[in-house]
Amino acid sequence: MSEPTKETQKIEPVVVIKKRCKSCKDCVYVCPAGVLSMAVDVHSISGLMISVDYPESCIGCNLCENACPDIALFVADKSKYQFCKITKEAKERQAKILANDCLSLPKEGEKNEKA
């Protein structure tokens, strides 16, 4: 199998290096667009792991990258990824994530594990 070329590689707005993440939640607290949350992960020491749940809502502000004490998050370069503008829905989602102790929100049709 051949290596992906620049043309076929999909650039993600936020890349996480999970081996470095200690689940401190700092990135979730600073994300204004509700892109990040914490997901249950039985393989993590804390039982949680960072999750990029809504990458399409990333505004490219770099707050998560700057807040991460472990250099576990990287935001794409603005010249290589078209970020969107923040929306009312994204702000509302962020408030819900923070109210849910930073845990991932259930997607439509899923049950909330916290309930």
| pLDDT number for residue 102 | 96
Q: Where are the domains of the chain?
A: 14-99
| pLDDT number for residue 37 | 97
| pLDDT number for residue 115 | 39
Q: Which residues of the chain have pLDDT under 70?
A: 1-9, 108-115
| pLDDT number for residue 111 | 58
Reduce the secondary structure of the chain to three states and give it as a string.
Answer: CCCCCCCCCCCCCEEECCCCCCCCCHHHHHCCCCCEEEEECCCCCCCEEEEECCHHHCCCCCHHHHHCCCCCEEECCCCCCCCCCCCHHHHHHHHHHHHCCCECCCCCCCCCCCC
| pLDDT number for residue 11 | 86
CATH of domain 14-99: 3.30.70.20
